[in-house]
Amino acid sequence: MRFLRLSLLGLALMGFVLPVALSQAPSEAPTGFDNLTNGFTTQAQFEADRDVFEESEPIEEGLGPVYNAQSCAECHQNPVTGAISQVTELRAGHFDGFNFKDHPGGSLINDRAIDAAIQERVLGGNEVRTFRTSLNTLGDGFVECVDSNTFVAISNSQPPGMRGQFIEVPVLEAGGLTRGGRFGWKNQHASLVSFSADAYLNEMGITSPLQPTDNTSNGRPVDAFDKVPDPEDDGEDVEVFASFMRATKAPPRDEELAATPDAKAGSVLFDQIRCNICHVRNITTLPAGSVINRGAFTVPEALGDKIIHPFGDFLLHNVGTGDGIVQNGGQSTRNKLRTAPLWGMRTRGRLMHDGETVNRNEAILRHAGEATSVINSYRNLTTNQKNQLITFLNSL
């Protein structure tokens, strides 16, 4: 029995999904902007975790020295904590004609600093610049519990000229073993713990055991300005952030609008012109009991065997809007971005990765590259049909 247990652990650490004894028929994942748990935690624990997610960090507890926000909720709070926002971050670097090179200190240019002497700014010679909007985290517990092989299968089912790129990225809490990326505009994270540790460091400047080293200011050390010993978080807050996101419900539809004739017609058109090739409607999570994140997490009942409707494929595509930045996917991903999941889209007024497009029609027409044939089909719709499609999008 001891040998069997070790063998199963070895399989889990190599990325294999372990079989579970019993599996229920998949059911719909709960949705809602109602500040209620999806069942992963109790409501009391959910609210306690949300308080930490919303907590404003002071300098005395490690904020900075360079940072963007004082809490997770600053960037994830429309219309409820954990949701999307109109907040952006700035990234920059240089393309030498062959490869992208990070701006000194990394591509992220922090907007704030605890001392004016270390305020970051884009330095000359870094002509690649982009804004990145904050992403929705509601329902991300379900996304985390999707088998990587599901994303591979989606990619394989897409036409060759529209095939999304699947990448594997390190799971920090599993010692850097890799798993299929799914979080962030570049799919740079595969787990919510990794995502939380990264955001704590890069957005708030707070170090943890998984990210123990402070960012620099344009490549210059900031040790003289940091009075709190690293790591500033013992890892507890990072786990709480992940717990909160795992307990959130997925973004709900506007059911009243979705039931209208125009929205129903728009839904049909969405599929007819093949928007659904990348904006995939239905994905099912792994069964409860499956071991994921390279052995670091077991899918619970609340998240297992759930059908989600993200309207995204969680793959990287070049649709002509690439930001030129390279993160965990290598140089081939320079002009690729993760398909934006459209669930919760009705809560956004600023669209695309940079938030620079402000209406649905222009956002659609901004697509090119791999999406050219789809956009040409959209152009050929009548004005009434385009309005129906946009009504459908506004119901998401």
pLDDT of 230-275, one tens digit each? Answer: 999 999 999 999 999 999 999 999 999 999 999 999 999 999 999 9
Question: For residue range 135-171, what is the model confidence (pLDDT) as tens digits?
Answer: 999 999 999 999 999 999 999 999 999 999 999 999 9
Q: What is the pLDDT of residue 176?
A: 96
Q: How far apart are the first and last CA of the chain?
A: 50
Mean pLDDT for all residues in the chain: 94
**Domain assignments of the chain as residue spans, ordered by start:** 43-394
Question: For residue range 157-212, what is the model confidence (pLDDT) as tens digits?
Answer: 999 999 999 999 999 999 999 999 999 999 999 999 999 999 999 999 999 999 99
Model confidence band, residue 24 (pLDDT cutoffs 50, 70, 90) = confident
User: Cis peptide before 19, with omega less than 30 degrees from 0?
Assistant: no
Q: What is the pLDDT of residue 19?
A: 41
What b/e string do you get for 220-235 counting C-beta neighbours within 10 Å, with b at 16 or more? eebeebbebebbbbeb
Question: For residue range 49-71, what is the model confidence (pLDDT) as tens digits?
Answer: 999 999 999 999 999 999 999 99
Alpha-carbon distance 277 to 287, whole Å? Answer: 25
Question: For residue range 130-140, what is the model confidence (pLDDT) as tens digits?
Answer: 999 999 999 99
Query: Could you write out the DSSP letters of every residue in 324-363?
Result: ---STT-GGGTT-EEPPP-TTGGG-SSBSTTS-B-SHHHH
